[in-house]
Amino acid sequence: MNDVFLAPLDLQPHEQGYYRHPTVSGDRVVFVSEDDLWEVPLSGGFARRLSGSRGQVSNPAFSPCGQWLAYTATDEGRPEVYVMRARGGPARKLTFNGASRASVVGWSPDSERVLFSSNLRESFTRQLGLYEVPRQGGATLRLPLGGAQGLSFEPSGPGRVLARHADDLARWKRYRGGTAGVLWIDRQGDDQWERLLPEITAGLCRPLWRAGRIYFISDYQGHGNLYSCLPSGDDLQRHTDHLGHYVRFASADLQTIVYTVAGELYRFDLATGEEHRIEVDYASPRTHLNRRFVDAEEFLDDFSLHPRGHSLALTTRGKAFNMGAWEGAVRQTGREQGVRYRLARYLNDGERLLMVSDEGGEERFEIHTADGSRPAQPVDTGDFAIGRPVDLVISPVADVALFANHRHQLVHLDLGTGACRVIDRSEYARIQGISFSPDGRFAAYGFFTHFSTAQIKLAELESGALHEITPGEFQDVQPAFDPAGRYLYFLSYRHFDPVYDQLFFELSFPRGMKPCVVTLQADADSLFLQKPRPLSGDDGDDDEESASEDATGDETPETGTAQGDGEDASASSETAASEASTTDDDAPNASDDEGPEPIRIDLEGIAKRVEVFPVRDGNYGDLAATEERVFWTVYPVLGALSGGDQDEAPGVLRYFGLKSQKQKTFARGVSTFEIGPDHKTIALWGEEGLQVVSASAESAGDEDDDEPSRESGYIDLGRLSVQVDPLQEWHQMLREAWRLMRDHFWREDMGGVSWDEIWQRYSGLLPRVSSRSEFSDLVWTMQGELGTSHAYEIGGDYPRQPQYSPGFLGASLRWDPDWRLSEEPERFEGAYRIERILRGDTWDAAHSSPLARPGLNISEGDVVLAINARPVHAQQSVEERLVNQAGQYIELVVAAGDGQSAPRRVTTRALRSEAELRYREWVNLNRTRVHEATGGQIGYVHIPDMGPAGYAEFHRHYLSENGRKGLIVDVRHNGGGHVSQLILEKLARRQVGFDLQRWGKPMAYPAESVAGPLVALTNEHAGSDGDIFSHTFKLMKLGPLLGKRTWGGVVGIWPRHALVDGSVTTQPEFSFWFEDVGFAVENWGTEPDVEVELPPQADLKGDDPQLQKAIETALHMLEAAPVQLPNFEPYPDLRAPTTLPPRDNTK
């Protein structure tokens, strides 16, 4: 035998893998590491790789016969089921479903069908059901068990045990909310399901029916371990004693249970009850750790301009670079790997850069030389912890900086001494915009005085004195000093021009912002005061004559005064470009040594000198100024669903000319911009990339010329060579995720969890990690130690697989082996029968079945014989024929279900997804059930989440349903959000009057109020703001709450801190407190007034006992308090009196 097999196992952590998802058959264990399958003897030894997947592999499962191995992989984009021979070899893809979630859970007892969980044909993407697919290939069938994530069969018996809600407890440890894993047992195999161990509120998952007992993982004693009980639920035992890291991914054959703890493999002998670690001799090239180069533009984080405008400092993928805009080499400063740099800013000499670094594990400021000639110099701030800086500006006259941090502080930093001084701190939100005065003596900043109001404040930096520029009556933010010291500009939410809603009686303020200006000197004229001037000088905007005129001194304003008619006082666009390009000397000019003249700010009455720019109200973003122009970005008011992320939508960069008093468009498709310290150069980031142009130019250039060059202004970011060492990068990312949680978690004491000990525990596992998915798992399980909701890790830079997106028909089909064509019975041997066509919104092609298009005349019961001229059969399903056909026109060969007519060809367009269609079908079915059962008296609305989609869905049906006598409000499977209070406010309306009219029915007041009973339905999948809605519905006594205890996650998040590879970790920051139960909804949920279970057998029967109970409750309430119009009599008598009273002439 080769020596490698005989070597003792003395591997260091970096020589071992991060092992997950084991499965066992006899003396063989297969597990997942580096996103591939590996095999090792049960007794331990040398591991060999079984697969070479292009995507991520997970959840392998040996067949009961031991001959086959099924697993999940993402080789073609979406997770699908594959099968190979147990010894290895080529794999066969069994499913072509295109679902967003799929995971192999096991096999049928006869080894002929692979079982997997998926959201394939569920009404909600978060809901998982169980499916099966033949080992030889063919159609996927859904098992009628309702929501489920695991299934285990009694060996040589009829029994089954089912797992719901949870498959892994380590990502939210000690969870006790509504979706804590539960087990259901069918002891006789007759679909009489009962809860197993219903008294345990902790999670139970990964059930295994072995040796006459039900084994499972639970943390009901505070740590995840292996337990078992009898099928009756008696004799509960714990079999392992792990503290800290959880037992995970348990799987078994008839003799052994295998699982992982802290990335290592373990086995449990069912006969002896003994546990042993499986020693793995792991020899892998670990190719996921090879260095690679990434696209600088894709991961660009920040940029800033050189004081002379000819160069840029950039951070991308956490690395710091500086370079000439179009010429010269690119310099990388700082550590090449393992350190993140942020907020790189040039100091005034143009030779040094100030930036944030997290070298050593904590963020600090460092000064770097632009040419890298000297080591980075840390700025020693002493005992002052800078926190997480979120904004950084450099003084125009000294080595001084101001920064805002996550603690809502504005901090003054002396770069010479490192001394930090907190200038101000808001109790409500982060500082919103910082601007130095031209002389460096003052700083203006946006300061929140409440959650919805902010003021502009002014700090005298030498004395520390603070002054209010605006009173805080509105929301005033983003101040920017005029470089000439005449004005202070800012943005303000102070324009109240309501817009009527087109569907409901509502008004809103979608465009509430306007740019404003404060005149700093009390004796200066208004910026908008127009003075007489000759026609020859009025040539529109930013003319060269104005520059020369100012240069002659004819109209040169005195320093510190506001004249307003000297636009383009510094240089024309051509002059600015010439100055920026004709010198390589970055040192300041001799004239600059004297420093700028001190500006005068008259504080008395300054709030009364605020004026609004004469431009349209809108949605404004950034604001900055040169001496002759004020620039701002304006973003369109978009629908929250059609417009995507409003914060990421490209806007229009406009400027207001101080001389012309006109607004003009400078560039389109701009996300953000910056005016350089020279006040002549502007850098903008937009749809076409990064661009640097003269701030006095007419526009940013030709929209059709996006090739990098000095003429177009576009920057070639391909010049940056961004090298990534994955393991060093993951170490930095893990530390940053840990640090973000420490600094943002809603309790400083971390709820009593020793966060430093957690770092030691999980950072020790990092050397084992060899793929991005393993790193993600490590972050999830580390953050899960807090036992708190909303601790997520989302996104990231994963290897890209091909995306062969399948098309969908919006129908349920079943293979019918007996179908024959009457005239030619030998031509077809079976067909796929259309059992159900999902109608959805037939008026919307994207949300209805392609089989329901006008003119196709396809009916339920008809059959599909071929797709795009390729026949379908038992082993080649309709789904397989639709691979890579998403959104494409397809040709179907269909025939009548009775086989009596000749096949015909029809053309339709396949859907890209049928998730929304299945949801719409579910809602329509529920509404129909309610209407039919109540004779149309009770309405029905479902709210899928508490975000824009849920808000839209609620109002879509509330429009028609609120006019009925009562309403069922269904928030089952609500995914949370932030609009619950808006919906509750509307539901809380109670009719107190009516508007009567002659030709129509009386109209209730307040409008859109429900006349009769309200009944709410909730379940364990209603979470976050769905939790809050459910609990507040009870608190407000709007009606009874029926269903199941909710998810129990009400510590909110604000995702905003991206890691270097684009992933976002969330920190539970906002903990919800209720007046009746305090913090108790978190990690528990809210209890319904009436609990209604949804057992697995309900799915088999097609029943919805929860909805049925809501119908019965609403009808009972309606019977007890009937809804009818009041008797409006007596009506007013409007006749004039026919007589007058006697006159009293004695008075």
- Which residue numbers are catalytic? 790, 1024, 1082
d(CA 176, CA 442): 53
Rounded alpha-carbon distances, angstroms, from residue 1125 to 127, 588, 962, 1002, 1118: 42, 82, 15, 9, 14
d(CA 301, CA 317): 7
Coil, strand or helix at 258: strand
d(CA 70, CA 92): 9
Q: Are 1117 and 1111 in contact (CB under 8 A)?
A: no
Q: Are 78 and 98 in contact (CB under 8 A)?
A: yes
The residue whose two tokens read 């005449």 is: 486
Q: Are 678 and 686 in contact (CB under 8 A)?
A: no
In this structure, the dihedral spanned by the alpha carbons of residues 325, 326, 330 and 333, taken in order and rounded to 10 degrees, is -10
**Nearest CA among 826, 883, 879, 889 for reference residue 853:** 889
Is the sign of the CA dihedral 794, 799, 803, 808 positive or negative? Answer: negative
- Residue 1122, preceding bond cis, omega within 30 degrees? no
Q: φ and ψ at 266, to 5 degrees?
A: -135, 155
Give the count of beta carbons closer than 10 Å to the beta carbon of residue 844: 11
d(CA 513, CA 496): 9
Q: Are 249 and 260 in contact (CB under 8 A)?
A: yes
Give the count of beta carbons closer than 10 Å to the beta carbon of residue 1057: 18
Q: Are 633 and 622 in contact (CB under 8 A)?
A: yes
* Strand residues in 868-970 grouped as ranges (E): 870-871, 889-895, 904-909, 938-942, 966-970
Give the count of beta carbons closer than 10 Å to the beta carbon of residue 28: 17
d(CA 1086, CA 1025): 12
Residue 680: strand pairing partners: none
Give the count of beta carbons closer than 10 Å to the beta carbon of residue 538: 12
**Nearest CA among 411, 448, 443 for reference residue 431:** 448
Coil, strand or helix at 546: helix
Given phi > 0 = left and psi -120 to 50 = alpha, else beta, which region is 478?
left
Q: φ and ψ at 794, to 5 degrees?
A: -130, 135
d(CA 938, CA 563): 69
d(CA 490, CA 444): 10
77: Cβ–Cβ under 8 A, 6 or more apart, which residues?
55, 801, 802, 803, 804, 805
Q: Annotate 906-939 with b (16+ C-beta within 10 A) or e (fewer).
A: bebebbbbbbbbbbbbbbbebbeebbebbeebbb
Coil, strand or helix at 140: coil
Rg of the chain on CA atoms, in Å: 35
Max intra-chain CA distance, the chain: 136
Is the sign of the CA dihedral 879, 885, 888, 890 positive or negative? Answer: negative
Tokens linked to 1038 = 């709007």
